[in-house]
Chain A
Amino acid sequence: MVRWISLALLLAALPLQARLKTAPPLLPGRERASTLPQSGLLEAQKKSSRSELTALGFELGTIGLKNTSSGDVAGLQLLYGLRANLIYPLSPRFFLKPSLGYFFKPQSEGEVSITQNLVEAGLGIQYALVIKKDLLWHAGLSQRVDYVFSRISVANTAANTPGLFRYRAGGSTGLRIKIAPKSDLTFDLEAGVTPFDNFRMQTGFSSGIIFFID
């Protein structure tokens, strides 16, 4: 008897569970509202280290190219320009840093002038060594392909030289300092060599701002 009563109760309960699955209109919405934002909030907290955020940066900088005959500072010929880069996180501490830049060096003597132009495309991988609330220090490897050409002019005539592709690779390091919730001030240093051009040493310093686009 008891067995039959239990079975009856179970059968009576089944339609109730089925009705709960076909939920009343407001319930599923409330469930989504209570879970999805929660997930987003957790993710934002996880990336607050700033090393895992995708960012777009713009920097002004200088490239120093070793030249034993005619250096500007410490035997380096300095080119000035700007660079745009993307910060693309790979893991909590590793991120890629592709970049595009343009640098130039105008020189003149009397009516003769020559302007060296350098267009660079780079790809670096960086590791976040120190992650603080408002600061991030990273170091890694960077490599760039330069396209270099010069414009020579004298009196009323001018011409571009043929271009030169040059590869350079080396180490780099940088600091990011938080200046706003969505942007950091950046300072980047790099030093490398041009292995296919007499192993000429090349250094670089650039500074600018990155904007997080996550």
Chain B
Amino acid sequence: MMVIQPVGPSCQYQISSAPLQTIENISNLQGLLGRVVVYPNDLESDPNTLQFGLGFQRLDLQLSGSNGSYAPLDKDSLLGVSLYYGIEKGYLLFKNLDPVGDLLNVVPNMRDTYIVQNAELKSQSFTDKNYSDNAAYVQINGSNGPRDYFFHFPNKEITTIPLGFNAGVLIHEYSHMVAQYLFHNKRSEAGKNLSSDSENTLASFEEGFADYFAFLATGDPGFFHCSFPLGEGDRDLSHPKSLTPAQLNAINTSIDFDSHDGGAVWASAQYQIGQLIGHEANGRSLVRFINNLASCTGLASSQAQINFNVLRNCHLQALGSSGNSRIQQIYQSAFGSAGGF
């Protein structure tokens, strides 16, 4: 399938054919990882929509080509194909790093995942604002069990690379799904009832975890800024960062808390560790880390206080003999000065 592919740092792209290895029905963009769909209305206008996955429609694709080699002919087809390509790129990355990262062995109904293109979502919890220029992974607990969604919200103001064409953004969202199944779903009821600062710490770490895997798949530590200018927070992984007292205070108090702030620090620390021991080795350790995180933190069975120190220790455990003192220094430099540990 002809798609826009990232080729390394500094927002470089190529337009060429890439195999979609998990696609089963090209005309429906349906594959092992889910299905690209559209929904004509506000997704929250009917509670059954997200709970039961009702009312979604297939994307009306226009493709050229044959014999397994296709190309999108219009913008929405290109976008739909890009969405599936990005999700699959994330899937293959985790699977190839470590078999425990193969979500097809974990998610019981992955084919039922909906990748919603240009989703319209009005949420009261977000001041009735139409979501735009954003993407999200969400698991909805319906009466038939959990349903997984990737939402791509319409492009409104981005003048560079829209999020749907930024594979890094989609891999970021896929990483949240990995975290959901390999970590959150293993938390006990007690382990889900944490203090807000612990939850904020976990949310921050997860954003950084997702950013790091987006970098691993795209090779671009600045993938986020291909869509958003650098002025809107520094998410470039190659820029060393440390948690500021204000950010730590936000984590502890939930006032002005943004999980992406702490996440950027976590991701930059992982980038430095990867530079030290190799990014593939670090990526592999992080797959093991997320898979063991519920038990490592004790959240698989009980409540626990989570801070960056706890997370560091779990990562060092996953790294095994690779967890040398230099890595501890990187963590210390990123989180220690603000009192994280």
A116 interface residue per 8 A CB criterion = yes
A67 to B2, alpha carbons, bound, how many Å? 21
A107 interface residue per 8 A CB criterion = yes
CB < 8 Å neighbour of B15 from A116, A158, A162:
A158
- Indicate with 1 or 0, residue by residue over A59-89, a CB within 8 angstroms of chain B CB atoms: 0000001011110000001000000000000
A163 to B159, alpha carbons, bound, how many Å? 29
A158 to B2, alpha carbons, bound, how many Å? 12
Q: Smallest Cβ distance from B316 to chain A, in angstroms?
A: 40
* Beta-carbon contact of B165 and A159 below 8 Å: no
* Beta-carbon contact of A116 and B73 below 8 Å: yes
* Complex interface: chain A residues within 8 A of B159 (CB): 110-111
* Beta-carbon contact of B165 and A162 below 8 Å: no
* Beta-carbon contact of A69 and B64 below 8 Å: no
* Complex interface: chain B residues within 8 A of A70 (CB): 60, 74-76
Size bracket of the A interface = 20 to 34
The majority secondary structure among interface residues of chain B is mixed
* Complex interface: chain A residues within 8 A of B161 (CB): 110-112, 154-155
Total A-B Cβ pairs within 8 A: 101
A149 interface residue per 8 A CB criterion = yes
* Complex interface: chain A residues within 8 A of B72 (CB): 114, 150, 152, 161
* Beta-carbon contact of A159 and B64 below 8 Å: no
A67 to B16, alpha carbons, bound, how many Å? 25
CB < 8 Å neighbour of B64 from A154, A164, A198:
A164
* Beta-carbon contact of A154 and B74 below 8 Å: no
A110 to B72, alpha carbons, bound, how many Å? 18
Residues of B within 8 A of A (CB): 2, 4, 11-16, 27, 38, 57, 59-60, 62-65, 69, 71-76, 78-79, 117, 155, 158-162, 165, 227
**Can you show 28 pairs from A to B with CB atoms below 8 A apart?**
A65-B62, A69-B59, A70-B76, A77-B74, A105-B74, A109-B162, A110-B161, A111-B159, A111-B161, A112-B162, A114-B73, A114-B75, A114-B78, A148-B64, A154-B15, A154-B161, A155-B11, A155-B12, A155-B13, A157-B15, A159-B2, A159-B16, A161-B2, A161-B65, A162-B71, A163-B64, A164-B64, A164-B65
Residues of A within 8 A of B (CB): 65, 67-70, 77, 105, 107-112, 114, 116, 148-150, 152-155, 157-159, 161-164, 198
8 further A-B contacts with Cβ under 8 Å, apart from A68-B57, A116-B62, A155-B13, are A70-B60, A107-B74, A109-B155, A110-B159, A110-B162, A112-B4, A154-B165, A155-B161
